Structure 1
Amino acid sequence: MMALWAASAGTTQAASYTLPVQVDYRLIKNALLTQLYKGEGHTAEVWKDKKGCSYLTLANPQVSGEHAQIKLVNQLQAQFGTKFGGQCVTLFKWQGVLHTLQQPTVNAAQSVLSLPITQITAIDDNGRAVGNDKLQDLLKRFVEPQLSDVKIDLNASRADIDKTISGFLPKENAAEVTAILNTLKFSSAKANDTGVAINLAFDATEKVLAKTASAPLSAAEQKQWQARWQEWEQLFSKAIQKASNDTQSPELRDTLTEILLESRRAMQAGLKADNAKGEDPVRVFFIQTWERLAPQLKVLAQQLPELQGLRYMTFIAATDVLYALESQGTPLGLSISSEGLRRLARMLIEGKQAKLANSPKPK
C-alpha cells in the first residue's frame, strides 16, 4: 500500500495521532508460546531442582477475557522428590489447573506492554484449592514472575519497521519516517471479551496536501517506473509466498496474488491517464481491495509470533484510519490518488537517477 502514497505538502504543523489496534487473544497466546512455553507439546518448565527429582510444569495455556483482565488457564503438574540410591523417590505429586488474571500494563516509557498477575488460583482435579505450602511458595516465587514477564516490546521492532517502510518511500522521507517511529508508543491497553484493545500513539508533522495537478507520466517515465515496479513485484511475490506458508493457506496466496495483479492495472491506469471526469482508479482500487484484504490479514496476524502479528495488526489499523487522517492533512502528506501516485513515481525515479549518477563508474 505504500506505493499509493506520495508527499506533496503545503503548510505543516505538529500533530499527534492514535491508531487503535485490537490484539486478539490468539495473538496473546502466541506471545506466551514464543516466550515461555518452549517445551515439547507447548509446555513450560518453570522450576526444576538441581537433582532433577522435583519440578513445576505448565501446559496447554488457554487465553480469554474476564472482568477487563486477561484470564489464563493452564494445566499444572508439580512433583517433589529426593535422590535415594541414585534414583528419584517421589515424596509429593500434584496435578490440576492454574487460573490467573493478568492486567495489561504499559510501562512508564510506554514502549512495553506486560501482563502482571493480579490473581492466582490452583485447583486440583477434584476442584479443591491447593493446600501444600511448598507448592504455594513455588507458585509465588517462580510461576508468577515468569507469567508476568511475558511482554510485547516496541523497541524490538522499530528498526525492522523502519527498514521495511523506508524501502517504499522516497529517500527524502527516510529521516521523517525514522523520527515518527521513534515516537511510536503504547498510549493505553485494556482487555475485553475478544482481546486487548491497544492504542498506539505517534507524533508527526502534519502536512496539508497541496492542490496541484500532476500530469500523466511520459513514455520515458513509464519505462523507468516499470523497472522500479518490477523490483517491488518480486519482493511482494516472495512476501505472498511466505504469508501462504505461514498460514498453510492456498486461498490467502490466491487472494494476495490476485490483488497484486489488480494493483498493477490500477496503478498503470492512474499513471497514464487524466481521470478528472471519472472515478480515480487508484482510490477505487484501494477501497475495494481493503475490504477483501483486511479480514485475510487479521486471520494471518492471529497465527503469527507476537511481534510479527502485531506488525500486521498495526498495519491494518493504520490503513483503517488512513482516510480520516488524509482528510485533515497527514504525516508525510500522504495521498491515496492517481495524483499522489504520479508524484511518488517521479520522486522515486529522480532518486534512482541520483543514486546511479553518484555510483562509482566501472573502470
Structure 2
Amino acid sequence: MNKYFIITVFSFLLGISRSGIADQLSVPVQIDYSLIKKAIIAQLYTGKEHSAELWNDRYGCSYLKLSNPNVEGQNGQIRLVNEVQAKFGTGMGGDCLTILEWAGVLETFQQPALDSNRSILSFPITRAGAYDRQGRHLAIDKLQELIKRFAEPRLASVKVDLNESRRSIGQTLAQFFPKNKVMQAQDMLNSLRFDEVNAGKNGLNIKLVFDAPAKINTANPKPAAPFSETEQKQWQAAWQQWDVFLSTAIKQVSDDAELPELRETLLQILKDSRSAFQAGLKEHDPDSADPVRAFFTHTWQRLSPVLSAVAKEAPGMQGLRYITLIAATDALYELENISAPFGLEISSDGLRRLARLLIAGQQQTQSEPPHYKP
C-alpha cells in the first residue's frame, strides 16, 4: 500500500473508457494556475517575501530584482506579471554613481510546451515588456538589456516535471494485477504520456494519453455472482489493510492542505464507502439503484470541491495529484460506454470483479516462497 492508492483506483477505473481514437485512451487534466505559480516561486523566487535577485554586481551599484509574481491565462498563453526593481551604476572613487534606477512591472507572455518525451512542461517566453506604475510602456535601452540578459532566461528556465505523477500511478497499479494480467497492464502503463498542452482561462489544459490493449471485449460481461461467505471474509481481511491506509491518507490530505476541517468530510466518505461496497458485494435487487454506482456519483459531488480546495492549498507540487484525479473522474462520468480488458466497471458487478482480482493477487503473493537476499 502507498499514498497513491486513491488515485490508483480512480485511474484504473478511468482507464476502461475509450476515446474517439481507436486503441487510444485520453483523459483531460487541468493544472490550476495557482500550482504553476507555486512551481515558479519554488524554483526562482527563493528570496524574502517571494523575491528573486536575478543579477547583481557584488558591489551594490547594480542589481535586478523581481517579486510578487502573478500568473493567469491570456490568449492561449501564460501571462506572468512581476514587480521589478532595477538599478545600474558604476563605482567611482569608492562610491556608487547611479546611472539608472527604476521600479515598475515586468510582463511576460509564455507559451506552455512539452519536451520530446512528453513529460516535462516548460514555458518559453514569446514577448516581454516593462511598464511604469501607471501602466506606461518603457523603452529604456539599458533596462531592456538587463531584462533580456537576466530576467527572460531565468523565467523561461522554470519546469514542471510530470514524470513522478505518471510513474507513481503505474507503480501502484502494478501491485493489484494478478500475474496473468501483468504483461497486458504493463504495456498499457508504459504508453502513458501527456499531450496537447494549452493555456486556458483557469489553468493549463493537458491530455493524459495511453494506448489501449490491442483487443478489448466491448460486449457486456456476464453478471458477477455475489460474494460467498468465504469471499466476504477474504474481502474483510483485505479491506482492513486498506481502511488503515486510507485513514492515514486522509490525515495526510488534510495536513497537506492545512485544512483540518476537511478530515471530517473525508472520513465520512470513507465510512459511507464501507457500507456501499459491502452492499455491492452482496446480492441485491437488480431493479433498484446500484449501490456502488450511486455511491461514486453521490460521493463525487461531495469530494470534487474538497479535492479542489486541497489542490490549491497543498504545498509545492503536491496539488498535482489531486488536480489529475479531479479531471480524470469528471471525465469518467461523462462517458456512457465503459468496457475494459480487465472486466471492470463502476457498479456492483465491477466491484465484485475488482475485489476478486485483488484477493487473487494477494493470495498469489502470499503463496510465493520467500526470495533469498544475499
TM over 0.5: yes
Task: Flag the structure with higher strand content.
Answer: 1
The offset of 1:29, in angstroms, is 1.3
Aligned counterpart, 1:258: 268
User: Residue in 2 aligned with 1:197?
Assistant: 205
Corresponding residue for residue 179 of structure 1: 187
Query: Which of the numbers 297, 301, 325 marks the counterpart of 1:315?
Result: 325
Inter-CA distance 253–133: structure 2 relative to 1 (3 Å threshold): same
Name the counterpart of 2:41.
33
Residue identity in the other structure for 2:313: Q
- Name the SS of the counterpart of 2:107 in structure 1: strand
Q: How far off is 1:256 after superposition?
A: 0.9
TM-score (norm 2): 0.84
Match runs of 1:59-70 below 5 Å: 59-70=67-78
1:89–1:20: structure 2 CA closer, same or farther, 3 Å change rule?
same
Contact kept, 8 Å, 2:258 with 2:314, in 1: the verdict is no
Contact 1:22 1:197 in 2 (8 A): yes
| 8 A Cα contact 1:82 1:89, kept in partner | yes
Distance change >3 Å, CA 38–CA 168, structure 1 → 2: farther
With 160-169 and 195-204 compared, the bigger mean Cα shift is at 160-169
Cα shift at 1:323:
4.4
Question: What's the counterpart of residue 27 of structure 2?
Answer: 19
Does 1:45 pair with 2:53? yes
Q: Secondary structure at the match of 1:99?
A: strand
Q: Is the 8 A contact 1:112 1:186 kept in 2?
A: no
Structure 2 match to 1:294: 304
Q: Which secondary structure does the structure 1 equivalent of 2:25 belong to? A: strand
Q: Structure 2: 5+ residue runs without aligned partners?
A: 1-5
* 2:63 alignment partner, one of 52, 55, 58: 55
> Residue 136 and residue 95 in structure 1: after superposition, are their counterparts in 2 closer, same or farther (change >3 A)?
same
Matches within 5 A, 1:181-260: 181-205=189-213, 206-208=216-218, 210-260=220-270
Unmatched runs of 5 consecutive residues or more in structure 1: none
Shift of 1:287: 0.8
Residue 3 of structure 2 corresponds to none
1:190 deviation in Å? Answer: 2.3
Decide whether the 8 Å contact of 2:109 with 2:126 is kept in 1. Answer: yes
Q: Which moved more, 1:84-93 or 1:260-269?
A: 84-93
* Cα pair 2:344 2:353 within 8 Å, conserved: no
Structure-1-length-normalised TM-score: 0.86
Structure 2 letter corresponding to 1:140: K
1:150 aligns with 2:158: yes
| Alpha-carbon distance in 1 for matches of 2:187, 2:44 | 33
> 1:113 aligned to 2:136?
no
247-256 or 47-56, which moves further after superposition?
47-56
Distance 2:72 2:78 in 1: 6
Q: Return the letter of the residue paired with 2:166.
A: R
Q: CA deviation at 1:175?
A: 4.3
Alignment match, 1:283: 293
Task: Please give the alpha-carbon distance, in whole angstroms, between the structure 2 residues aligned to 1:145 and 1:300.
Answer: 32
Q: What's the CA shift string for 1:124-164, capped at 9, x where partnerless?
A: 33544444433321211221122122232323432222223
Report the alpha carbon displacement of residue 90 of structure 1 after superposing the two structures with TM: 5.2
User: Which residues of 2 match residues 86-101 of structure 1 at below 5 A?
Assistant: 92-101=100-109
Q: Is the 8 A contact 2:38 2:316 kept in 1?
A: yes
Report the RMSD for the aligned CA atoms in angstroms. 3.0
Q: CA deviation at 1:38?
A: 2.0
Q: Deviations over 1:159-207 (max 9, x none)?
A: 2222233345555544444433432333212223222222222212244
Check 1:173–1:48 CA distance in 2 against 1; reply closer, same or farther (3 A cut).
Answer: farther
Question: Aligned partners of 1:213 and 1:100: how far apart in 2?
Answer: 57
**Does the CA contact (< 8 Å) of 2:257 and 2:311 recur in 1?**
no
Structure 1 residue 355, shift from structure 2 partner: 1.6
- Contact 2:257–2:315 (Cα < 8 Å) also in 1: no
Contact kept, 8 Å, 1:56 with 1:77, in 2: the verdict is: yes
Using CA pairs under 8 Å that are at least 6 residues apart, name the structure with larger relative contact order, 1 or 2.
1
Q: 2:350 maps to which residue?
A: 340
CA–CA separation in structure 2 for the residues paired with 1:176 and 1:87: 72
CA offset at residue 328 of structure 1? 4.7
Separation in 2 of the partners of 1:146 and 1:114? Answer: 12
Once the two structures are TM-superposed, the CA of residue 82 in structure 1 deviates from its matched residue by 5.1
Deviation, 1:234, is 1.6
- Deviations 1:315-360 (Å, cap 9, x if unpaired)? 2222222245561523644311111211222222222222222133
> Deviations for 1:264-313, whole angstroms, at most 9, x for unmatched residues?
11111111224423221111101111111112212222333564323222
2:177–2:361 Cα contact (<8 Å) kept:
no
CA distance in 2, matches of 1:209, 1:94: 69
Indicate the percent of aligned positions where both proteins have the same amino acid.
49
Aligned length: 357
Instruction: Using the TM superposition, give the Cα deviation of residue 258 of structure 1 relative to its aligned residue in structure 2, in angstroms.
Output: 0.5
